[in-house]
Structure 1
Amino acid sequence: MLQELSIRNFAIIDELSLSLEDGLTVLTGETGAGKSIIIDAVQLLVGGRGSAGFVRHGEKKAEIEGIFVVEEGHPCYVKCAEFGIELEEGMILLKRDISQTGKSACRINGKLVTIAILREVGASLIDVHGQHESQELMDETKHLALLDQFGYDDIKPAKDAYSDLFTKYETVQKQIRSLSENEQQMAHRLDLIRFQYQEIEQASLEINEDDVLMEEKSRLVNFERLFDSLQTAYRALQGEQKGLDWIGLSMSNLEHSAEIDSNLKATSESVANSFYLLEEAASSIRQQLDELEYDPDRLQVIDDRLNEINQLKRKYGSTIEEILEFGSSIEEEIESITNRELTLLDLEGKRASIQEDLYLEAVQLSNERQKWAQKLIFEIHEQLKALYMDKAVFDVRFHHYASNDKENGYEFKRDGVDLLEFFISTNPGEPLKPLTKIASGGEISRIMLALKTIFSKHQGITSIIFDEVDTGVSGRVAQAIAEKIHAVSHHSQVLCISHLPQVAAISDRHLFISKEVKNDRTISHVLSLEEKERIHEISRMISGVEITELTLSHAKELLDLGHSIKKTTA
């Protein structure tokens, strides 16, 4: 959920900090007080379109920050990992600054990101829905994904099985397309990769050869220093009156002492062991000195070989392993192109076999979706009845990607072969039309709430914002909408700008937005209302201007009703 929101120098907002909670928070206030400006700020925070017009007059930049708390496994974890953003203790800090020139600086957990990344991460955190905005539910290209979320437990296994086969199918398709290219291009390609393969083969590379050569080169380049150091070390140990002589003398005397005092036996053995180890080391140093030989011709051979290896690295890979892997891959390609006709026949046979299985998986996936589409239709009708749209008819229309393949008639896509769109008729006798073509504001509000009530359980969205979606309704419909908005808040944090007293009365928290002119500047304020203040504000929403005992009584009655409904639905 959105836990903290901070806004500075944004439109008429000088400085504003909000601490938000779970459940339903309603924002009310007079028109122009700044309610929608707060929502605009949140939209910008999650990647909305910005402009210099949002920066408060006379200020250099507008700043918006939001802290979100998410549970482990939330979709944003995958998004953040994809972009190399670390999450600590389930906290995500989004920050966006907009300058006077309209340029934006976006950060997620302190890391500078593009607006596109901010938008992608933000889409998994907040869904802003306004009456006239084209949101996910009003975008027919998103309807398939919504159905898949709705029937997740049954659809996902079928979708995974299809997806695994589709990946194999795509790989074979790509190979066939590659082999079916223009013959002249194929001949040029064959000449190139034959040359590359021959160059790698002739080099006769060995794993770690470059490391071994570099070590040998280092010995040759530093021959004099190495020889002097080894010789000095050997002379310090071996010879009359040198290290081993003195340690040998010590060892001999300690052996005699240990015969007299047994407590010295361990010390005697330690010195003896050291003597023999040093004697062995001296012998090894002598051998190294005898084998040391400076060969300037060998140094030239090493330089030439390292130069050859580096040339190959620049062309085919940063390591010898990568060069050899590249050689193996083009060897296979040479064989495929050389035996092109046979390879094509083999690949086409493989594709036909995969396609048969893919067709069966596609049908299975489509059947699962159609089964869950019927369940969705039933649930939507139940929701619409509760919103006094019992005459409305909702449907999920399926069709498939067209294909030139006469055998199955399907064109296989990553998500299957299905295309679907939500259709609805809101009045008896009227034909079903695409959901996106519904015109009435009041109908859109109710349909959206019906869909949100269902899909909010499955979408994983942390916070949902409703910006005056209750416009154009009243009476019992207004009460039904209020109850639906609160139902959505059982699964996601909900922030709602509303002019309906019914919505304000059922909310878990009520924020009142007001504005004042101070030093010739307009400033917005936010006040969290207690019970008595809520009654007064809801009374104002009922009456419009004049607050009477009757409107106060009605407001208290609405609040009591809201408390009662929340207890029964908790």
Structure 2
Amino acid sequence: MIEQVRIENLGVIAAADLDLAPRLTVITGETGAGKTMVLTSLALLLGRKADPALVRSGADRAVVEGTFVVAPDGPAAARAEEAGAVVDDGELIAARTVPASGRSRSHLGGRSVPHAVLTEVGEQLVTVHGQSDQLRLRAPSQQRAALDAFGGTEHAALVEAYREAWSAASNAREELRAWERAVGAREEEIAQLRTGLDRIDAVAPEPGEDVALREEANRLGNVENLRAAAGRAHQSLTGGDDMTGAPDATTLLDDARRSLDQSAADDPALAGWAERLAEASYLVSDVATELSSYLTGLDADPARLEWVHERRAALADMARDHGGEVDAALDWAERARRRLADLDAPEEVAERLREAVATAEAELDRAAAALSESRRSTGDRLAAAVGSELAGLAMPDATLEVRLTPLEEPGPHGAESVELLLAAHPGAPARPLGQGASGGELSRVMLALEVALADAGTSTGTTGLTFVFDEVDAGVGGKAAVEVGRRLARLAERAQVVVVTHLAQVAAFADRHLVVTKHASAEQITATDVVAVDGEDRLRELARMLSGQEESDTALRHAAELIERAGVQR
């Protein structure tokens, strides 16, 4: 909602602060006092076009600043923060500066932003119904959303079921189309997979074979060096022919162990070391035995070495496309065979996809039929509710029609388009909203719609929104004027409402009453003030609106009676 608006040097307004009520605020004043400038200030905050001619004579710029109360997790706050604005404890400050010459500037939450950002944020917060601002519910998408919102929770479940069904059918169709488009690519993929598998199958590698052959090649290619190293080690451990007379490692370890055993009774620590030396002796003996066996089997085999080289070359060539590793090639081959199993049965896959499409479309048809039927009944209820409201707004012969036009094929939002039409008079053709009705009539139609939607508990009437009405009371008076005020008060139970009015019967319902007055300064410069009135001041303003004489006792009594009756009727 709008908490406060500050205006500087806009038209005839030199400076004014507007504190708006959370519920119904009315703005009154004599013709020409400057009520239009109040609405213009709101339009500027909503990103509308700025005209330098709006700047007050003698000033270099006009400034409008507004404080909005927003839900921290709502779409308005999200869009503002996306633009770099700061939302401080649920408050969002918007500002518009219009220079006497040059381009206007917009600020939101302390950041300079394009005018379009003010518009996008404002659309989430404020709806203006005026002679040139009957924008709400004009677009078919907004009319469809309003109808669906009016339907309630059961209807909302049908809308969601349809959306899910439409999404599932669209995905199923796209999967089938993708399969059909890929026929040529599928054949090419099959050929590539089979070529790769043939190369691997021709070599028939074993897991880890390349690693094992690399080790064998190293061994066969260095037999002499290996034999010399192993022989020297064996002689050092066992005392071979080349080391005659030299003690071998096993003998030395045994001598050391026996020496410790002899004195172990005197110190237990020696027994522990002796045990460890025994283990070392066993280990050295095992190594010596294994070295002997290794030397026996270590023979040069040129033929085997040649075969190993050839095999390694074949494996490397086969695995070149797989990082040069046999295991990677085998993993690819396993995946390729699974993929071929799918590709080699195209008709089975295609049939499965066609069945999925048929199932999804059947479900979509069921969901569409249920939603269409619910929309027809919801449309009848909405038309009746709006008609009832219009009867009390001096438009008893006006009727609202909710027209559902079947689409050639279901879309993402249903199987029909939704259009709200108005027949302003008996026998008049039903025409789109905004056509065939005056500005005042259209404002009352919009009021009737907003009240009907709000009474249904829809999202269009929840706390946080602001509705601005201008000319809603044009062409009405008497009892009809009271009904306009009563309906504005009803709407204000669920949303903030700001209305510019010249009828006391409407103003009597206000929670806050602002009066726009003009006066001439000593320099004969006309200026306008906006002040909140209450008590006796409010009675005098209502009396002025009733009779043009704010001091008339009769008018004052009538004003007091209006306020009392308004309180009762709310």
Q: Structure 2: which 5+ runs fail to align? A: 194-337
> Where does 1:63-142 land on structure 2 (aligned, <5 Å)?
63-71=63-71, 74-77=74-77, 79-80=79-80, 87-142=87-142
Q: Show CA shifts across 1:203-233 (max 9, x none).
A: xxxxxxxxxxxxxxxxxxxxxxxxxxxxxxx
> Where does 1:255-266 land on structure 2 (aligned, <5 Å)?
none
When residues 132 and 560 of structure 1 are mapped into structure 2, their CA distance, relative to the original with a 3 A threshold, is same
- The percent identity for this pair of structures is 29
CA contact (8 A) 1:70 1:91 kept: yes
When residues 114 and 416 of structure 1 are mapped into structure 2, their CA distance, relative to the original with a 3 A threshold, is farther
When residues 173 and 59 of structure 1 are mapped into structure 2, their CA distance, relative to the original with a 3 A threshold, is farther
- Which deviates the most, 365-374 or 101-110? 101-110
CA RMSD of aligned residues (A): 3.7
CA contact (8 A) 2:71 2:77 kept: no
Look up the match of 2:470.
Answer: 467
Pair 1:373 & 2:379 matched: yes
Look up the match of 2:390.
Answer: 384
Shift of the alpha carbon at 1:40?
1.0
CA contact (8 A) 1:76 1:121 kept: yes
State TM-score, norm by structure 1. Answer: 0.64
1:355 alignment partner, one of 361, 365, 370: 361
Pair 1:395 & 2:398 matched: no
> Where does 1:425-436 land on structure 2 (aligned, <5 Å)?
425-436=423-434
CA distance in 1, matches of 2:143, 2:450: 13
Look up the match of 2:449.
Answer: 451
> Where does 1:18-417 land on structure 2 (aligned, <5 Å)?
18-71=18-71, 74-77=74-77, 79-80=79-80, 87-174=87-174, 347-402=353-408, 411-417=409-415
Pair 1:536 & 2:540 matched: yes
Look up the match of 1:490.
Answer: 493
1:501 alignment partner, one of 495, 499, 504: 504
CA distance in 2, matches of 1:58, 1:346: 78
Q: SS of the counterpart of 1:380?
A: helix
Q: Structure 1: which 5+ runs fail to align? A: 195-331, 403-410
CA contact (8 A) 2:505 2:562 kept: no
Q: Show CA shifts across 1:105-137 (max 9, x none).
A: 333322443333321221121111113433213
Look up the match of 2:560.
Answer: 559
Q: Show CA shifts across 1:424-449 (max 9, x none).
A: 33434444443332324453343222
Pair 1:525 & 2:529 matched: yes
- Which deviates the most, 369-378 or 381-390? 381-390
CA contact (8 A) 1:6 1:65 kept: yes
Look up the match of 1:423.
Answer: 421
Q: Show CA shifts across 1:456-510 (max 9, x none).
A: 4521352111122211222222222122222221111111111112112222222
CA distance in 2, matches of 1:568, 1:109: 40
CA distance in 2, matches of 1:345, 1:116: 50
State TM-score, norm by structure 2. Answer: 0.64
Look up the match of 2:217.
Answer: none
CA contact (8 A) 1:131 1:469 kept: no
CA contact (8 A) 1:394 1:422 kept: yes
Q: SS of the counterpart of 2:7?
A: strand
> Where does 1:504-515 land on structure 2 (aligned, <5 Å)?
504-515=507-518
Shift of the alpha carbon at 1:36?
1.2
CA distance in 2, matches of 1:90, 1:436: 35
Q: SS of the counterpart of 1:387?
A: coil
Q: SS of the counterpart of 1:161?
A: helix
Shift of the alpha carbon at 1:360?
1.5
Shift of the alpha carbon at 1:179?
6.5
Shift of the alpha carbon at 1:539?
2.3
Q: SS of the counterpart of 1:14?
A: strand
When residues 466 and 336 of structure 1 are mapped into structure 2, their CA distance, relative to the original with a 3 A threshold, is farther
Letter in 2 for 1:383: E
Letter in 2 for 1:557: H
CA distance in 2, matches of 1:554, 1:379: 35
Q: SS of the counterpart of 1:427?
A: coil
